[in-house]
Chains A and B, each alone.
Chain A
Amino acid sequence: DVKVTQSSRYLVKRTGEKVFLECVQDMDHENMFWYRQDPGLGLRLIYFSYDVKMKEKGDIPEGYSVSREKKERFSLILESASTNQTSMYLCASSPRTSGRTQETQYFGPGTRLLVL
């Protein structure tokens, strides 16, 4: 079974703090993604990575950065947390098989972040 784990289920931070959200997958997937989930907006893509040290902006990258130093780990960084970044953050991964990226994504349980 594919397993995607996220470092925290719940996190409370103060405005201006630097926040790290960690995601680890154990299936050797090439592609990893960070989404945020907000009521009435569904899931929106923040950043994704298709290889170690490679990253691309998604639809809402402002205020976020990412790091992928190892294949299994993809970190989301909030350089200076703000209250409008209070949200549920979901990590996902997908494989590349025979050189072809597969469409199905596998999600972690999510981190609910509250910024006060």
Chain B
Amino acid sequence: GNSVTQMEGPVTLSEEAFLTINCTYTATGYPSLFWYVQYPGEGLQLLLKATKADDKGSNKGFEATYRKETTSFHLEKGSVQVSDSAVYFCALSRYSGTYKYIFGTGTRLKVLA
């Protein structure tokens, strides 16, 4: 079946450090892949997405590349800020009448000043 596995948190970094949050997936077919972010007290917001192999999604300094050979979609940012503190969810979409998501468990990121 389809599933998403992401690294457990919390991840604690100092400001300006490099960030990687790992995400791997299993899926039949060729799903689209997403990263969503949830800031404290808010709902989820789309951060970036990639719809096919080798696509790179990017937004707000974050990047992730759809790697079919390693079934991965790792999230990276070169220099994190305190304002990036949030929970990050990796997800894939599957089509069954409409698009539905399968989410990872979420990774909490804390960035210290």
Residues of chain A having any CB pair with chain B under 8 Å: 4, 31, 33, 40-45, 48, 50, 56, 58, 90, 92, 94, 101-110
Cβ of A45 and Cβ of B101 under 8 Å apart?
A: yes
Q: With contacts defined as CB atoms under 8 Å apart, how many contacts are there between chain A and chain B in the complex?
A: 57
Cβ of A43 and Cβ of B103 under 8 Å apart?
A: yes
- Please, which residues of chain B bring their CB within 8 A of the CB of A105? 46, 99, 101
Chain A interface mostly helix, strand, loop or mixed? strand
Q: Bits for B25-48, please: 1 = Cβ < 8 Å to A, else 0.
A: 000000010101000011111100
Residue in A43, A56, A103, A107 whose Cβ sees the most chain B Cβ within 10 Å: A103
Cβ of A45 and Cβ of B46 under 8 Å apart?
A: no
Cβ of A41 and Cβ of B105 under 8 Å apart?
A: yes
From B43, B46, B97, B98, A110 is in contact (CB under 8 Å) with: B43
